[in-house]
Amino acid sequence: MRRAIFPGSFDPITLGHYDIIQRGIPLFDELVIAIGINAEKKYMFPLEKRLGFIKEAFQEEPKVKVMTYKGLTVDFCKKVGANYILRGLRNPGDFEFEKAIAHTNRKLSEIETVFLLTSSGKSYISSSIVRDVIRHGGDYTGLVPDTVRT
């Protein structure tokens, strides 16, 4: 079975994330959207909300599972039997950052990282931009799936 995880904080899930997930579904038998929990990070949306946004967005997709984890991503991969990590790339800066993480993960385990380029119309979207728009009362609805409501 080709099982992959798509890790992130998803605070909140964006149309960029959604794009990568939708395009990743045909590549794997199962895709686990893995919400990482970092006690030192301050989130805009509580974990339950983030879980709900994602579960609702993919409720009709049987190949998508949503889980949470703490600790190293490669340890979570081993726990759920995932052989792949799916990551999205928006720009060259993302590539350099993600490449270093992928090399480290490969050094720690046998897990391969698969990169997909975000579709051009969504490559400017990030969770931090969405949070900033929300904080300032802007219209964020064109940046996130319909399931994200504040």
Is the CB of residue 111 less than 8 Å from the CB of residue 84? yes
Give the pLDDT confidence score for residue 13 in this predicted structure: 97
pLDDT digits (tens, 9 = 90+) for 63-113: 999 999 999 999 999 999 999 999 999 988 889 999 999 999 999 998 999
Quickly state the pLDDT bin for 150 (edges 50, 70, 90).
Answer: low
41 is catalytic: yes
Cα(66)–Cα(46) distance, rounded to whole angstroms? Answer: 15
* Catalytic, out of 2, 3, 9, 17: 17
17 is catalytic: yes
The domain ranges of the chain are: 3-135
**In CATH, 3-135 is 3.40.50.970:** no
Claim: this prediction has a pTM higher than 0.85: yes
* Catalytic, out of 63, 109, 120, 127: 127
Nearest to 6 by CA among 31, 28, 30, 27: 31
* Catalytic, out of 9, 50, 90, 99: 90
Is the CB of residue 21 less than 8 Å from the CB of residue 15? no
pLDDT digits (tens, 9 = 90+) for 9-22: 999 999 999 999 99
127 is catalytic: yes
Nearest to 108 by CA among 79, 73, 69: 73
65 is catalytic: no
Distances (CA, A) of 5 to 71, 77, 149: 14, 7, 25
Beta carbons within 8 Å of 102's beta carbon, 6+ residues apart: 85, 87, 113, 115
Give the pLDDT confidence score for residue 102 in this predicted structure: 95
Query: If 0-12 CB within 10 Å is exposed, 13-18 middle and 19+ buried, where does residue 32 land?
Result: buried
* Catalytic, out of 41, 42, 107, 136: 41
Distances (CA, A) of 111 to 16, 62, 73: 24, 23, 10
Is the CB of residue 31 less than 8 Å from the CB of residue 6? yes
